[in-house]
Chains A and B, each alone.
Chain A
Amino acid sequence: MRKSNLINKIKQLIGFSDLVYSLVAIILALLMGALLIFLSGYDVTQAYLSFFDGAFGSFYNMGQTLLKMIPLIFTGLAVAVGFKSGLFNIGGEGQLYWGAFATAIVAIVFPDVNGVVLIPLSLFAGAMAGGVWGMIPGYLKAKTGAHEVVTTIMMNYIGILATTFLLRNYFKEPGPIDQTPLIPKAARLAELIPFTRLTWAIFLGIAIIILFDLFFKKTSLGYNLQAVGENAAAAEYAGINSKRMIVISMFLGGLAAGLAGSTMVLGVLHRFITNFSPGYGFVGIAVAVLGRNRPYGVLLSALLFGALEAGGISMQLFAKIPMDLMTIVQGLVILFVAAPSLIQIVYGPRKKRQILFDH
């Protein structure tokens, strides 16, 4: 394939102007971050050097970035799927907990089953649990009109507390920590690079991205979901049952978020622990926004957030600069993506094309 061809393909997949846009946002955020590091009295060069080294500097460090990226692929996708059909799924966190819990329980309950069966089975359980948990707010919206932002936020609390309750009362390992026993070795995902805990879950993530991209581009159902998201009135006009689409979309989103929990359990934690997620479900919102709700965009932006996380840790470790500064950079990225006019000030006034002629 010729190079220009390849570039065109990439442009098509991600949406070129959106890509430029997101890149500008990232660069701006890094510059602002540099200013903040400087104002806080640290050495900017040293900070960013150790940051980039921590994120991409070695095979091991790359592995850390990819590891941090995995749950964000799934939760980012969970939010993006919702956005595609006009829904704001803030329930990723609760869906993730149910996914993690169901996966852990299935793995623990069938300790003697071969891994070839057990791993898909527990992944399936996690995906379904997350999906069903996501479907509930979808159903409520379709039936009663209850707004999904409100219900998914509520369902987060219920989900996190309900899994904790079940854990404490039925599945808790003896000891001071609220956690299940370890899952059998057969259920654990194999590491790609020794001692990194980076498993082939990354490939599962990429596969899911590809599947969702194809789903939206090539299937009737995917087309329907997007039609509802892009113009609900036109979808209704065409005879598309938007209520059913709402439920399906929330199910698919929940399914993705559930897999975030499943892969955490099978690949990293090897058990279910209460409060294990540092808010992957919420970071997923940022990932989806930066990725412009496109599957491949989500993949790239998950990579960025993974790098910020991994690099931030190394910055704190080696340059003794608080990791919070990288969290601020994350916030700034979102701010710049979400506030287009801010970028336009820097990026130059983009010529407005859709100006009112007559009408």
Chain B
Amino acid sequence: MKILELKQITKSFGNVLANDRVDLEVEKGQIHCILGENGAGKTTLMKILFGLYALDRGSILLNGKPVTIQSPSKAIDLGIGMIHQNFMLVDRLSVAENIIAGCEPKKGMFLDLMKAKRDVENLSEEYGLRLDPEARVEDISVGEQQRVEILKVLYRNAHILILDEPTAVLTPQEVDDLFTILRKLKSDGKTIIFITHKLKETMAVSDQITVLRDGKREGTVKTSETNPHELAKMMVGRDVILRVEKKEKPPGKIIFQTRNLFATNPISHRRLKDINLTIREGEIVGIAGVEGNGQLELEEVLMGLRDIDKGEIVLNNINITKMSVAKRRELKMVHIPSDRLKRGLIRSQDVEKNLLLGLEWNRAFSRRGILSQSAIREYSHRVIDAFDIRCASSKEQVDSLSGGNQQKVIIGRELSRDPTIIIAAQPTRGIDIGAIEYIHRILLQMRDENRGILLISAELDELMSLCDRIGVIYEGEIIAEGSNFTYEELGLLMAGEKKERSQRVEEI
């Protein structure tokens, strides 16, 4: 039985058609995946369903009856709940308080906290969502916070749950737990709409899949009747090589090393503890870890963007510990920053000016401080061609490029500098499959050209297919390092489980 039907949903923002006559039919009691690349219109569609956006054209049928959903509260009344990508919780309040906020049980004019606690306990019992109702939200893990969000929706009697990219912040084990929960909810008769761009998850958890591309529905398929390859093709519109070919190749001499590196982030109070990294020529060294375990600090410390407490950084036998960012860059260290919008780009400037960033005093582009427009233009065109940056012209503002192309601007700028060491942090986060494939290829090419690469990533597939060695960072410490971890081992290590038998650092 169809519980929900979206018909010919159309929504545009200015000149951009975010949803173009999209149809969606969801069966009751199923897990339905909405699969698509970033910018395909998945979230827009769901925000329309949840009453956050008004639709331009089209209709929504709930249990066969047409409905208008003009606000989230209307959606909740109709039994539709949404679990957003960024949690909307009050850190200082308890789990129970967060769940009841907005529809609190009352005793007279007072809040009935005891009943709230009981309600939450019953609810978490019923759906097998283990939670301590009295714990403060700031003290629980991200996976548990997500459960709070789910309970919040269930508490409001939702029977259709929309989850927007729910796995982005989770460890592999937490993802498994989430899937168990979703299956339990399904067996209780709930209907789940699951938005994602990850093929593996789609295959693992869903019953049906609707693929969106460029705001249009590409097709709906039964999960049992499809495979990742076909889905990737539907998403991207062409054949995609999911696995990259990596040449066997012995690494060369050591070119980059950190010794007993300690650092503190005074704002988040995160620390780096005793980091010993070694990168050889022609080697990709991976750093795996759940975000927020010191990756940002590590990346910044290596580039000189953050002070260290003690330790040493050595590049090609030169001690660069005290060198400025500019000096390190002169020594051919380049950096693909994890926060590309904050660090990597000047969004209000055009592609040319962004490719020039850091090279504005280079003799090729500047004579006595006067910029040579023609040299810059010519160089930009070369980089745009070489790195396949899709832009209307080199004068196009970077802000109007897609995420993947913005990332290619950064990568093109950095990798065109003939680097010795490449610090690549989350280089494929939030970009489309086509661009990911491209970036993977170019990183391997850099490796084959005997450059050293440090790849900091949260994507295990990426690390396992690209890296020669992987270290796992947990709470600012590299807790394990080796070259043949399994997926499960990495997952456990990322969650902080130090295994006795894990290959402990082959320190030099």
Contact = CB atoms under 8 A, between A and B. Distances in A.
A96 to B, nearest CB: 28
Nearest to B329: A239
A239 B40 CA distance: 36
Interface string B331-345: 000010100001111
Contacts, number: 98
A352 B14 contact: yes
A239 B325 contact: yes
A314 B42 CA distance: 62
Interface in A341-356: 351-356
A236 B306 CA distance: 10
B127 interface: no
A234 B329 contact: no
Contact of B38 (A233, A239, A354, A359): A359
Interface centre among B305, B324, B345, B370 (most CB of A within 10 A): B370
Interface stretch (B21-29, B62-70, B183-191, B356-364): B356-364
A230 B325 contact: no
A274 interface: no
Nearest to B197: A358
B358 A238 contact: yes
B349 interface: yes
B476 interface: no
Interface stretch (A111-119, A193-201, A214-222, A253-261): A214-222
Among A219, A239, A351, A358, max chain B CB count under 10 A is at: A358
B356 A357 contact: no
Contacts of B353: 223
A45 interface: no
Nearest to A224: B360
A220 B43 contact: no
Nearest to B18: A357
A230 to B, nearest CB: 5
A358 B356 contact: no
Interface size range on B against A: 35 or more
A58 interface: no
Given A218-B371, A359-B430, A234 B38 contact: no
Contacts of B18: 355, 357
Given A353-B13, A359-B403, A220 B361 contact: yes
A126 to B, nearest CB: 25
Contacts of A230: 346-349
A207 to B, nearest CB: 18
B335 to A, nearest CB: 7
B273 to A, nearest CB: 25
Contacts of B13: 351-353, 355
B39 A358 contact: yes
B358 A353 contact: no
B326 interface: yes
Nearest to A214: B370
Sorted nearest first, the 8 A-B pairs with minimum C-beta distance are A239-B326, A238-B358, A239-B325, A355-B13, A353-B14, A220-B360, A358-B43, A351-B14
9 contacts: A223-B360, A230-B349, A234-B342, A237-B303, A351-B13, A357-B18, A357-B43, A358-B44, A359-B43
